Amino acid sequence: MSTASTPSAATHLAAVWTELAGTHLPWLVLTIAVYLAAMAIYRKSGNRPLLIPVFTGVVVVVGILLATGTPYPTYRSGVNFLTLLIGPATVALAIPLYAQRERIRQLWLPVGAALLVGCLVALLSAIVIAWAFGGSEATMVAVAPKSATIPIALPMAERFGGKPSLAAVAVAIAGISGTMMAPLLIRLLRLKDPAVQGFALGLTAHAIGTARALQIHPAMGAFSALAMGLNGVATAVLMPLVLAVVPWI
């Protein structure tokens, strides 16, 4: 038999990849492997904000998707299992919240005021920035719930005519940038109370910020989880009202 008729190793690999690309396994394994590698780099760097795993992991995964020409819907369907874990992980945040229940009762008034102001500023700032850069109505709607968690931001954006994929990008950028800038802003504002730090982080950077807060201090993580949950509800309530009064939409 001639060598021309013998399949090469590259041909075998291409055939295997084509076969696996139609399943969910490659993207699930890839996402987990990239995250673990990013976490290792983050810890070795001394937890530098610019190297948070979500940021570096996203850069690597997006690069692979672009290099392989894989559309986002294909990748998203491949990691649906990880998306399902968001619910149990959110419920588990009740544990640190319960430990801080007495402090939460004492601070209900400033918590309520910060929630109202923070939610409105998050919604309006996103809309104004998108409008200032010439964004369409659909774009403004999609980026408005950027500070809410994805399970809330995506259906809210889709309900009012925004693209869920763009909303997901806006949520990711808000979470990553908020977590990266939080240490500097906390130092500039001289915030010493872990509860204040956590609430601010959870209100602006949702789940990504909460994950970081839980690594720093129990009280910071609890109040960040509280802010994330309350802001999700507040966004669902206030977003329709904001869109109704904003003249550009």
Asked whether residue 175 is domain-assigned, the answer is yes
Round the average pLDDT of the chain to a whole number and report it: 86
In this structure, the answer to whether residues 147 and 243 fall within a common structural domain is: yes
* Cα–Cα distance, 174 to 146 (Å, whole number): 6
Q: Are residue 105 and residue 14 in the same domain, yes or no?
A: no
1 occurs within a structural domain: no
In a domain, 3, yes or no: no
Which residue among 64, 84, 104 closes a domain?
A: 84
State how far the Cα of 166 lies from the Cα of 142, in Å rounded to an integer.
6
Of 52, 84, 116, the residue that ends a domain is 84
One-letter amino acid at 66 equals L
Flag whether 143 is in a domain: yes
Mean pLDDT computed over 19-30: 72
Q: Please state the domain count of the chain.
A: 2
User: Would you give the end-to-end CA distance of the chain in angstroms?
Assistant: 70
Predicted pLDDT of residue 130: 93
Residue 171 inside a domain? The answer is: yes
More confident residue, 192 or 90: 192
Of the listed ranges 29-38, 87-96, 235-244, the one predicted with least confidence: 87-96
Does residue 182 lie within any of the structural domains? Answer: yes
Q: Are residues 124 and 230 in the same domain?
A: yes
Could you say which of 84, 102, 132 is where a domain stops?
84
Please report whether residue 138 resides in a domain: yes
pLDDT at residue 1 is higher than 50: no
2 part of a folded domain: no
CA–CA distance, 156 with 61 (Å, rounded to integer): 26
80 and 98 in a single domain? The answer is no
Q: Is there a single domain that holds both residue 124 and residue 33?
A: no
User: Over 80: is that where the pLDDT of 230 sits?
Assistant: yes
- Residues 131 and 236 occupy one common structural domain: yes
105 lies in the same domain as 185: yes
CA distance 95 to 2: 67
pLDDT at 2: 46
Per residue in 127-158, pLDDT tens? 999 999 998 999 999 999 999 988 899 999 99
Domain containing 27 equals 8-84
Is 72 a residue whose pLDDT tops 70? yes
Same-domain status, 150 and 57: no
Asked whether residue 231 falls in the same domain as residue 112, the answer is yes
| In the predicted structure, residue 173 carries a pLDDT above the cut 50 | yes
**Looking at the structure, do residues 108 and 47 belong to the same domain, yes or no?**
no
> Would you say residue 179 has pLDDT above 80?
yes
Question: What pLDDT does 207 receive?
Answer: 87
Query: Are 78 and 189 members of one domain?
Result: no
Q: Are residues 148 and 35 in the same domain?
A: no
Give percent of the chain with pLDDT exceeding 70: 90
23 vs 36 pLDDT, higher one: 36
pLDDT in tens, 181-218: 988 898 998 989 999 999 999 999 988 899 889 888 88
Which residues are within 8 A (CB) of 130 and not within 5 positions of it... i.e. 6 or more apart? Answer: 139, 140, 143
Q: Specify whether the CB–CB gap between 120 and 144 falls below 8 A.
A: no
Would you say residue 19 has pLDDT above 60? no
Q: Could you tell me the two tokens for 149? A: 């968690």
Residue 237 reports pLDDT greater than 60: yes
Q: Which amino acid is at 80?
A: N
164: confidence class by pLDDT, cuts 50, 70, 90: confident
Q: Predicted confidence band at 84 (pLDDT cuts at 50, 70, 90)?
A: confident
DSSP secondary structure string for all residues of 14-35: HHHHHHHHTSSHHHHHHHHHHH
Cβ atoms of residues 164 and 138 within 8 Å? no
